[in-house]
Structure 1
């Protein structure tokens, strides 16, 4: 069975680190493998650091954003790419909330879910244009928009992906 180390995540971590030079915002990316185990007869999720991952593994990707300045930051935008070797599943439950937007063009444009696109079909010999909903599995990037991040405030934002 092949094991993957998402190189996109390494690039994201390096890019995030480099982008923080002289920035009032500290960003940390955490990637964990999610496993469901049975404890006391009930299914429980356990997380462990992702090091090498096999197809089908579910990963929790969490960004911790901290305002390290002495002033509130307004309209903070935090884009995070969905690693190419993975498929977006859903937002991570139980984390802080922020306005979330998604991209299907590699992060060039973002919009709130559900994303839609127009497709042209032929029905009864006529060309018909319809708007169809895009599946979350097609999302390539996620952008969090935080209206205000107070001085010293920390938020955790994230989502789950599955290794292809």
Structure 2
């Protein structure tokens, strides 16, 4: 009985050791698992920073009026009709490229988007939502009932914009930064 148990263990050990020594699928699976684990550890780490500035009118040394952007920090006070610029800076602090980077920014209800002010790095597709972020298009349209009762599609007014989205087609490489911005007016 002891002899057949010892013989069985020897056969089992041979079955396990021989495939490992010859580069069998077991070893290949170990390599794949190690690669997958490394990919989980090495991932992009995208950091976003939101900054705001207020448009103010100043007078230069020659008495000329000019508009400048004054950074807002802490608890800033804004008034109706003030124009603010939000800037979002994004950097990949990770070790591998960040693919499919999308930055989405809601427009606060007490603000109105200033049309045609959204900017972004080259390669960023800018789209807008007028339905709270449910759908995005490059040029939002609304239905307008004409005096004769017909309905036409016209560009959405600035007050209808609810969300802006920047979609980057190219991967954000490690240590690379992008910046997007847009202007809003306080209601």
Global fold match (TM > 0.5): yes
- Match among 26, 49, 67 for residue 47 of structure 2: 26
Q: What RMSD in Å do the two structures reach over aligned CA positions? A: 2.2
Name the TM-score, length of structure 2 as normaliser: 0.66
Q: Is 1:39 aligned to 2:67, yes or no? A: no
Deviation at 1:120, TM superposition (A): 4.3
Q: Is 1:160 aligned to 2:183, yes or no? A: yes
Deviation at 1:26, TM superposition (A): 0.8
Question: Match for residue 174 of structure 2?
Answer: 151
Q: Is 1:71 aligned to 2:96, yes or no? A: yes
Question: Match for residue 100 of structure 1?
Answer: 126
Aligned partners of 1:26, 1:131: CA distance in 2, in Å?
A: 39
Could you say which structure has the greater relative contact order, defined with CA pairs below 8 angstroms and 6 or more residues apart? 1
Question: Match for residue 80 of structure 1?
Answer: 105
Larger radius of gyration: 2
More helix by share: 2
Contact 2:44 2:95 in 1 (8 A): no
Equivalent residue pairs, number: 138
Contact 1:60 1:92 in 2 (8 A): no
Question: Match for residue 7 of structure 1?
Answer: none
Contact 2:49 2:89 in 1 (8 A): yes
Name the SS of the counterpart of 1:137 in structure 2: helix
Deviation at 1:132, TM superposition (A): 1.3
Q: Deviations over 1:8-57 (max 9, x none)?
A: xxxxxxxxxxxxxx872111111121212121334141312151211111
More strand by share: 1
Aligned partners of 1:52, 1:40: CA distance in 2, in Å?
A: 27
Provide closer, same or farther for how the CA distance between residues 23 and 137 of structure 1 changes in structure 2, counting only shifts above 3 A.
farther
Structure 1: give runs of 5+ residues left out of the alignment: 1-21
Q: Deviations over 1:97-138 (max 9, x none)?
A: 4211101111111111x2112344462xxx523111112332
- Match among 140, 150, 153 for residue 128 of structure 1: 150
Structure 2: give runs of 5+ residues left out of the alignment: 1-42
Deviation at 1:63, TM superposition (A): 0.8
